[in-house]
């Protein structure tokens, strides 16, 4: 829906004439130059929409207009307008000011720092203050006073506050009273239309019971806002919620990318994410869709003959300080996806959101591992490309990423088909997937990749390594991987005896007494010997992974023992006290990880005293140990090859 601007409307930030953008969550209208600063702050600070060239739900636009006309801007500039305030002498930006630094500094202070918002008197318990504000909000939403509710939200009232005495949320109250604009405002600040009150009813239920049909329909749209926006971005259509159609799943006309093993593995990873992580990813992709679409509108509406470099497109999602650095890096990396790649990701998210909401079963852990094992032999070419790109980049600066201003148009011009969903969907909760299982599968994939790379490197090094003369005598090692014999009593004393004698057969005094008298040695074993032992370790790790895949937990202990023997034999190749710090560090990681692996596998024994064993958590720890062993072995191969070739 378009907006017919009145000549009396001015930019809330610089008072410039004819503002053409709105900040939805701030309830203000802003000009092009000020909008460029708003966009650089990120959607967590300001959610901008063009008043004419962006599709608007009618009641959402009406809500912003009402706030603007009722002085919402005074909320954000309270102390500037108060003659008794120390801030009253600070000058507001004007249309003639430069965007940088003048307008930008003022806008950041106003919206990001909330420097001019009315402050409540300090109290000892901030949580009580927030609770009091939320209770006031709970009462206010039954009226039509939007500005009061926005003021409460700006001070810290929670849109999803559950009133302990009333047994419902502000959105329940607004829906029962038929206050559609209040519902729009609450939704902008994160209110969930699917929340149930103490009677099990949702805001949609109350709106329908009260005969507020327009509000009920709008609440359903808000409930599916994320998936609707993603679908509209790709094919320009939204589901028909009135007739029970809640999802549109576009399909790429060119599905060649979808057929690759890499794409299949990526979908498996997506499906195995916990609900929390999946929701985070979906929200990040939603923000990227908003960035790309707004960039396209921005460029289409600018006067290019006078366009200054100060007001440009936003090349990637701005940093949100509430998110981890890893998540912010991942969000920024979305800007590097080309049109085809990003469309594929959006379709995968839409498909999995529908699957989770309809309660379709997840692929099993076994299926995931089988896929990885099956594609091991085909991953070399894929990994050579994949390894060029890290999983996450460092947090980017404005100079790091080129803008993709035409991405939105490119997507919309693609030939897309639609697989339309029939029937209403009432299940609002996603399936719960244990984080431990997700972590286990991620480690399995990571470990299989390491093992695969290791095997490939070993073959290359076998061809290149010159056949060096084998050492006359096998050096002994001080890296005994049974540092605490008491912890391995259950494994059998005879087992310990064999392990110790194999390493210390020529040293009757034992490791602890001998070590101080041993001088550091620069001698390293031959590359061929290290490679041969590493291949044995890798083979045993593969067997352990297959046991994990097939849920053969009783195979953990024998597998770990074989790995332990192979690690002990490999450690025995090296000098008792290597001179190289890198060798010592790698050997410690190798042997200590083998010891930890045995300890973890021992937890699968029946009748073990203590709390019940969480087998998924044990599996996670087992895989982590196996990964560390493979990593250490790879390091030793690399070091030995390098030193022997020098």
Kindly report, residue by residue over 425-479, the tens digit of the pLDDT: 223 322 333 343 444 445 555 555 555 565 565 555 555 555 444 443 434 334 4
Candidate ranges 263-267, 281-285, 517-521; pick with highest mean pLDDT: 281-285
pLDDT, position 107: 96
590 in Cβ contact with 571 (< 8 Å): yes
Domains and CATH numbers, the chain: 7-112 (1.10.220.150), 127-243 (1.25.40.20), 261-359 (no CATH), 527-644 (1.20.120.330)
Q: Please, what is the angle between helix 339-358 and helix 275-301, to 10°?
A: 140
The H helix count followed by the E strand count for the chain is: 26, 5
379 in Cβ contact with 452 (< 8 Å): yes
Q: Examine the pLDDT at 373 and tell me if it is beyond 60.
A: no
pLDDT, position 378: 36
pLDDT, position 611: 58
Any idea of the CA torsion for 111, 283, 444, 365, to the nearest 10 degrees?
Answer: 150
Query: What's the whole-number mean pLDDT along residues 576-580?
Result: 84
Give which of 214, 228, 226, 224 is closest to 183, Cα–Cα: 214
Q: Examine the pLDDT at 173 and tell me if it is beyond 80.
A: yes
DSSP assignment letter at 578: B
Q: Examine the pLDDT at 36 and tell me if it is beyond 90.
A: yes
Region of poorest pLDDT, from 277-291, 458-472, 486-500: 486-500
CA 12 to chain centre: 35
The three-state secondary structure class of 248 is strand
Q: Examine the pLDDT at 253 and tell me if it is beyond 90.
A: no
Q: How far apart are CA 464 and CA 637, in angstroms?
A: 13
Q: How far apart are CA 601 and CA 297, in angstroms?
A: 58
Kindly report, residue by residue over 74-91, the tens digit of the pLDDT: 999 998 887 766 665 577
Q: How do 48-50 and 21-23 pair as beta strands? A: antiparallel
9: CB partners within 8 A, 6+ apart: 18, 19, 29, 68
The Cα angle at residue 91 between residues 90 and 97, in degrees rounded to 5: 145
Helix or strand holding residue 249 (H, E)? strand 248-252
Q: How far apart are CA 78 and CA 353, in angstroms?
A: 42
Give which of 534, 291, 555 is closest to 401, Cα–Cα: 291
Kindly report, residue by residue over 391-427, the tens digit of the pLDDT: 333 444 333 333 333 333 333 333 333 333 333 322 3
pLDDT, position 628: 81
CA 279 to chain centre: 9
Query: Could you identify the residue written with the tokens 């999946």?
Result: 278
Give which of 35, 51, 26 is closest to 104, Cα–Cα: 35
Query: What's the whole-number mean pLDDT along residues 491-512?
Result: 32
Give which of 633, 37, 607, 615 is closest to 310, Cα–Cα: 37
Q: How far apart are CA 359 and CA 355, in angstroms?
A: 6
Preceding amide of 310 cis, omega within 30: no
Q: What does the block give as tokens for 285?
A: 């992709």
Q: How far apart are CA 404 and CA 291, in angstroms?
A: 10
Q: How far apart are CA 170 and CA 320, in angstroms?
A: 27
Max Cα distance, the chain (Å): 97
The three-state secondary structure class of 24 is coil
17: CB partners within 8 A, 6+ apart: 7, 10, 11, 95
Give the CA distances from residue 189 to residues 78, 121, 150, 202, 429, in Å, rounded to whole numbers and listed in that order.
Answer: 21, 24, 9, 18, 21
Region of poorest pLDDT, from 109-123, 238-252, 465-479, 491-505: 491-505
The Cα angle at residue 129 between residues 124 and 134, in degrees rounded to 5: 165
Query: What's the whole-number mean pLDDT along residues 554-578?
Result: 89
pLDDT, position 86: 60
What's the pLDDT band for 318 if we cut at 50, 70, 90? very high
Kindly report, residue by residue over 41-66, the tens digit of the pLDDT: 999 999 999 999 999 999 999 999 99
Give which of 379, 305, 302, 287 is closest to 41, Cα–Cα: 287
What's the pLDDT band for 3 if we cut at 50, 70, 90? very low
What's the pLDDT band for 8 if we cut at 50, 70, 90? low
Any idea of the CA torsion for 218, 221, 225, 229, to the nearest 10 degrees?
Answer: -110
Query: What's the whole-number mean pLDDT along residues 621-632?
Result: 82
Q: Which residues are paired to 419 by β-bridges?
A: 249
What's the pLDDT band for 609 if we cut at 50, 70, 90? low
What is the average pLDDT value for the chain, to the nearest integer? 75
Q: What does the block give as tokens for 138?
A: 């709970």
350 in Cβ contact with 233 (< 8 Å): no
Q: What does the block give as tokens for 484?
A: 């605490």
Helix then strand then coil, in percent of the chain rounded to 5, is 60, 5, 40
């Amino acid at each position: 829906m378009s907006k017919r601007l009145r000549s009396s409307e001015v930019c809330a930030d610089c008072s410039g004439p004819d503002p053409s953008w709105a900040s939805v969550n701030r309830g203000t209208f802003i000009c092009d130059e000020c909008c460029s600063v708003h966009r650089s702050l990120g959607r967590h600070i300001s959610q901008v929409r063009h008043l004419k060239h962006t599709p608007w739900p009618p009641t959402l636009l009406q809500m912003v207009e009402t706030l603007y006309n009722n002085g919402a801007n005074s909320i954000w500039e309270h102390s500037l307008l108060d003659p008794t305030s120390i801030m009253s002498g600070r000058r507001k930006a004007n249309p003639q000011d430069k965007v940088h630094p003048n307008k930008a500094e003022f806008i950041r202070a106003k919206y990001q720092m909330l420097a001019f918002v009315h402050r409540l008197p300090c109290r000892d318990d901030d949580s009580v203050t927030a609770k009091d504000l939320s209770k006031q909000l709970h009462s206010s939403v039954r009226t039509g006073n939007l500005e009061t509710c926005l003021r409460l939200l700006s001070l810290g009232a929670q849109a999803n506050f559950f009133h302990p005495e009333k047994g419902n949320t502000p959105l329940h109250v607004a829906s029962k009273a038929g206050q559609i604009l209040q519902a729009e405002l609450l939704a902008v600040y994160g209110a969930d239309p699917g929340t149930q009150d103490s009677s099990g009813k949702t805001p949609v239920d109350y709106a329908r019971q009260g005969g507020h049909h327009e509000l009920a329909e709008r609440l359903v749209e808000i409930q599916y806002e994320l998936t609707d926006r993603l679908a509209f971005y790709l094919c320009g259509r939204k589901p028909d919620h009135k007739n029970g159609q809640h999802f549109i799943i576009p399909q790429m006309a060119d599905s060649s990318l979808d057929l690759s093993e890499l794409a299949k593995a990526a979908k498996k990873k997506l499906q195995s994410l916990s609900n929390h992580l999946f929701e985070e990813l979906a929200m990040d992709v939603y923000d990227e869709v908003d960035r790309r679409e707004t960039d396209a509108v921005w460029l289409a509406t600018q006067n290019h003959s006078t366009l200054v470099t100060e007001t440009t497109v936003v090349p990637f999602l701005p940093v949100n300080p509430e998110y981890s650095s890893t998540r912010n890096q991942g969000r920024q990396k979305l800007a590097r996806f080309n049109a085809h790649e990003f469309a594929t990701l959006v379709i995968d998210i839409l498909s999995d959101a529908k699957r989770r909401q309809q309660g379709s079963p997840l692929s099993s852990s076994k299926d995931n591992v089988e896929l990885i094992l099956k594609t091991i032999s085909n991953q070399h070419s894929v990994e050579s490309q994949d390894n060029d790109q890290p999983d996450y980049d460092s947090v980017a600066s404005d100079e790091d990423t080129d803008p993709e201003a035409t991405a939105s148009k490119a997507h919309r011009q693609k030939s897309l088909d639609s697989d339309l969903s029939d029937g209403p969907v009432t299940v609002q909760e996603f399936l719960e997937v244990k984080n431990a299982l997700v972590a286990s599968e991620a480690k399995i994939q990571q470990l299989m990749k390491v093992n695969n790379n290791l095997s490939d490197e070993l073959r290359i090094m076998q061809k290149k390594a010159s056949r060096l003369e084998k050492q006359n005598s096998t050096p002994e090692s001080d890296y005994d991987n049974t540092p605490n014999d008491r912890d391995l009593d259950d494994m059998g004393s005879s087992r310990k005896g064999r392990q110790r004698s194999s390493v210390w057969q020529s040293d009757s005094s034992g490791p602890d007494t001998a070590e101080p008298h041993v001088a550091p040695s620069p001698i390293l074993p031959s590359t061929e010997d290290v490679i041969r032992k590493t291949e044995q370790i890798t083979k045993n790790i593969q067997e352990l992974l297959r046991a994990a895949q097939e849920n053969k937990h009783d195979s953990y202990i024998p597998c770990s023992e074989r790995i332990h023997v192979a690690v002990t034999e490999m450690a025995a190749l090296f000098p008792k006290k290597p001179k190289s710090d890198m060798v010592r560090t790698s050997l410690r990681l190798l042997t200590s990880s083998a010891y930890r692996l045995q300890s973890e596998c021992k937890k699968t024994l029946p009748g073990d005293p203590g709390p019940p064993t969480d087998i998924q958590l044990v599996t996670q720890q087992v895989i982590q140990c196996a990964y560390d062993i493979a990593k250490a072995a790879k390091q030793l191969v690399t070091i030995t090859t390098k030193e022997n070739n020098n």
